Structure 1
């Protein structure tokens, strides 16, 4: 059976630099009837586990380590036995949320994760966070962009561990080079396509200066 993409929205809070905000997060599940990968275990381990059902969870993949994307990861891993994977550059952020529980494995640029006969290629896209990654699944015509690229522009870079010129470089060099019809499934809000966002790169750059 071919891999499919399932989508959950979970709600909770995002906290950084002394502030806390209410947020809705996209949780993406890629797999078939027997195995799955979770991208960003946000807020509600019970809801995510229910969506997985009796499938084998191959991995809990973190697009970055802001607390709203990883807060449910240890509980989900404990329930399923799945490893938590994170780019090592985001360990300082991870430790703010989970000081006593490290990820189980590292994500590296160009690494391939496989589930249900489908490969997801890790693209290191720093800027929103140092270890931010996107996951490109060409067989599904999709890239999971976390908080690197949204409908309407780049992820936020106004807080610690973030850098605007870096996120622009990541988007230009790693994402806008993908086929324009590639669907960008984001960490928050609606999906978009690479082709819809590419024409606006100069506007974003001008806005950032």
Structure 2
């Protein structure tokens, strides 16, 4: 952990009311393989490891897969850039294993929850993360 990026992360959290609790008022359960009734027909891909219920969303129409916090291109505590597992992962071994679920998806964009998007295939991203 490096002090500069860590303080930057906490400062950003404070500016965005990150310490204020917001309660969920409505929940719609989704599961691996579900196709959402939305434009582009997004498909849910289970990505266990980062946190319970973690998923990626593959949108074939957009030629993209949104991986949320399963992966990052900029570590919020170290400032390190490039494809890598996200920090605060519950089960790092399971999170790496989940990358196999992404590798077979046809997409040209991989969009993480933190950091810049990758313009490459999910298979290539999976390979680069494993090289670490």
Query: Do they superpose with TM above 0.5?
Result: yes
The alpha carbon displacement at 1:107 in A equals 1.2
Aligned to 2:103: 176
Q: Which runs of 5+ in 1 are unaligned?
A: 1-19, 25-42, 45-66, 72-95, 205-209
| Corresponding residue of 1:21 | 10
1:138 aligned residue: 60
Structure 2 gaps of 5+ residues are: 1-8, 74-82
TM-score (norm 1): 0.45
Q: List 4+ stretches of structure 1 deviating above 6 A.
A: none
CA offsets 1:2-45 (integer angstroms, 9 cap, x no match): xxxxxxxxxxxxxxxxxx83458xxxxxxxxxxxxxxxxxx69x
Q: CA deviation at 1:110?
A: 0.7
* Structure with the higher strand share, 1 or 2: 1
Distance apart, 1:200 and its partner CA: 1.9
Contact 2:33–2:45 under 8 Å retained in 1: yes
**Change beyond 3 A, Cα 1:165–1:115:** same
What are the within-5 Å matches in structure 2 for residues 117-128 of structure 1?
A: 118-128=40-50
User: Aligned pairs, how many?
Assistant: 111
Whether the aligned pair in 1 keeps the contact of 2:35 and 2:43 (CA below 8 Å) is yes
Structure 1 residues 121 and 150: CA distance shift in structure 2, 3 A: same
Query: Which has the higher relative contact order, 1 or 2, with Cα contacts under 8 A spaced 6 or more apart?
Result: 2
CA contact (8 A) 1:148 1:167 kept: yes
Distance 1:104 1:202 in 2: 34
